Amino acid sequence: MSPFFRNFASYFLSGNYRYMNFKLSIEQLASLVNGVIVGDSSAIITGYSKIEEATPGSLTFLANPKYTHYIYSTKATAVLVRKDFEPEKEINTNLIKVDDPYETIARLLNIANSQMPAKQGVESPSFIAPEVEVPQDCYVGAFAYVGKNVKIGKNVKIYPQVYVGDNVTLGDNVVLYPGVKIYHGCKIGNNCIIQGGAVIGADGFGFAPKKDGTYEKIAQIGIVILEDDVEIGANTTIDRATMGATIIKKGVKLDNLIQIAHNVEVGENTVMAAQVGVAGSTKIGKHNMVGGQVGFAGHITVGDNNGFGAQSGIPGNIGDNQRLLGSPPMNVLDAARLYVYQKRLPQMSDDIKALKSAIDEIKKTNN
């Protein structure tokens, strides 16, 4: 990593941007991100801000077109914009043109985050089963529990009050934030991040009705598998399979407060926003984008490359490459038209009543 990036990281991690002696010129910053400068390359960056709240000395970015109007009033010293961006009127800031401003700011912040001092060692009190080997570069926080026959990869971080059940496998670079619970037998791949309060491998919701009206619990003897590069949000729950495995494929990102039921499969690089619910044995393909509070019925199959608008209800099978909204779901454009028609219903009702009255008057006249 270059000295500039190291300084940039140290600066952004300081938490005291305005009072640091560190300074970074726009020219230096542009060289780090392969950007093209429009404006004063010698201007100094001393912090970062959202575009609508920026102050002099700060760096911000413009990625969403609906925020474009702020670029004409922002007080930021520099704004990351797309290479094809051309202002429609005079601006009072400097531009750094890049291929993707959102990806660029994310990369800068990730570099800063990666420079945080790495925790290592085992804090006390904590419990680690005697036969478990903890690599030297790992961290186990206070009050953590690591059960029998657990396999721990390199550079794993187990924060305080984490529970890791017997026979769990943790790949390299796994991070388990405070309060995570991983039940017995589950397998966590490399580079997975599980946020606080998430529960991986609790029993699936399986109960058999009995003649007397009560329910008998069905043993859930499967596991959960998280493949590599998965991130699980805070307080999300992923149930173990009745038999076999509930599988979260490589690159999946799940937001907070999501429920994944038993025997579900979520395909590669699918992303889900908060409060999504997926019922048992549903198979979801790869590269799906799922809005908040979407519900999937059980035992259905969802294809690849779909987008589901917030609060949609998915009762049956879905193919590939669709953009859906509503419950039951429909094409986004059709849903928008339906919404417009629904808003017009009160006026349409009044118009029909008026038309009926006019027809009645005509009938009376003719009679």
Give the pLDDT confidence of 254-310 residue by residue, as tens digits: 999 999 999 999 999 999 999 999 999 999 999 999 999 999 999 999 999 999 999
Q: How confident is the prediction for the chain on average, in pLDDT?
A: 91
Q: Kindly state whether residues 198 and 169 are assigned to the same domain.
A: yes
d(CA 230, CA 250) in angstroms, rounded, equals 6
* pLDDT the model gives residue 109: 78
* pLDDT the model gives residue 15: 41
**Above 70 in pLDDT, residue 323?**
yes
With a pLDDT cut of 70, the percent of the chain lying above it is 93
Q: How confident is the model at residue 360 (pLDDT cuts 50, 70, 90)?
A: confident
Q: Kindly state whether residues 80 and 191 are assigned to the same domain.
A: no
For residues 189 and 226, is the Cβ–Cβ distance under 8 A? Answer: yes
Q: Kindly state whether residues 176 and 34 are assigned to the same domain.
A: no
Antiparallel, parallel or unpaired: β 237-239 and 199-202: parallel
CATH number at 86 reads 3.40.1390.10
Q: Decide which of 114, 148, 164 is a domain's last residue.
A: 114
The residues, ordered by sequence, that sit 6+ positions from 276 with a Cβ below 8 Å of its Cβ are 254, 255, 258, 259, 290, 292, 293, 294, 295, 296
Q: Kindly state whether residues 128 and 234 are assigned to the same domain.
A: yes
Q: Kindly state whether residues 65 and 178 are assigned to the same domain.
A: no
Can you tell me whether residue 25 is helix, strand or coil? Answer: strand
Give a yes or no: residue 351 inside a domain. Answer: no
Give the residues across from 80 on adjacent strands.
61, 96
Higher pLDDT, 128 or 333: 128
pTM (two decimals): 0.83
Give a yes or no: residue 347 inside a domain. Answer: no
Give a yes or no: residue 295 inside a domain. Answer: yes
Q: Kindly state whether residues 108 and 166 are assigned to the same domain.
A: no
- State the catalytic residues: 262
Give a yes or no: residue 367 inside a domain. Answer: no
For residues 32 and 2, is the Cβ–Cβ distance under 8 A? Answer: yes
* pLDDT the model gives residue 281: 98
Can you tell me whether residue 204 is helix, strand or coil? Answer: coil
CATH number at 165 reads 2.160.10.10
Nearest to 25 by CA among 112, 111, 15, 39: 39
Q: Kindly state whether residues 154 and 178 are assigned to the same domain.
A: yes
**Above 50 in pLDDT, residue 128?**
yes
Q: Kindly state whether residues 162 and 271 are assigned to the same domain.
A: yes
Q: Decide which of 68, 93, 114 is a domain's last residue.
A: 114
Q: Decide which of 73, 98, 114 is a domain's last residue.
A: 114
Give a yes or no: residue 356 inside a domain. Answer: no
Q: Kindly state whether residues 144 and 263 are assigned to the same domain.
A: yes
Give a yes or no: residue 293 inside a domain. Answer: yes
Q: Kindly state whether residues 22 and 139 are assigned to the same domain.
A: no
The residues, ordered by sequence, that sit 6+ positions from 118 with a Cβ below 8 Å of its Cβ are 137, 139, 155
Instruction: Note the pLDDT tens digit of each residue in 202-225.
Output: 999 999 999 999 999 999 999 999
Give a yes or no: residue 327 inside a domain. Answer: yes
* pLDDT the model gives residue 343: 86
Q: Kindly state whether residues 109 and 128 are assigned to the same domain.
A: no
**Above 70 in pLDDT, residue 13?**
no
Give a yes or no: residue 303 inside a domain. Answer: yes
The residues, ordered by sequence, that sit 6+ positions from 125 with a Cβ below 8 Å of its Cβ are 142, 143
* Segments in the chain forming alpha helices (H): 3-13, 26-33, 101-114, 332-366
d(CA 186, CA 188) in angstroms, rounded, equals 7
Parent domain of 8:
3-114
Give the angle subtended at the CA of 333 by the CAs of 311 and 64, to the nearest 5°: 75
> In the chain, how many domains are there?
2
Burial of 153 from C-beta contacts in 10 A (0-12 / 13-18 / 19+)? middle
d(CA 134, CA 157) in angstroms, rounded, equals 11
Antiparallel, parallel or unpaired: β 323-325 and 330-331: antiparallel
Q: Kindly state whether residues 157 and 32 are assigned to the same domain.
A: no
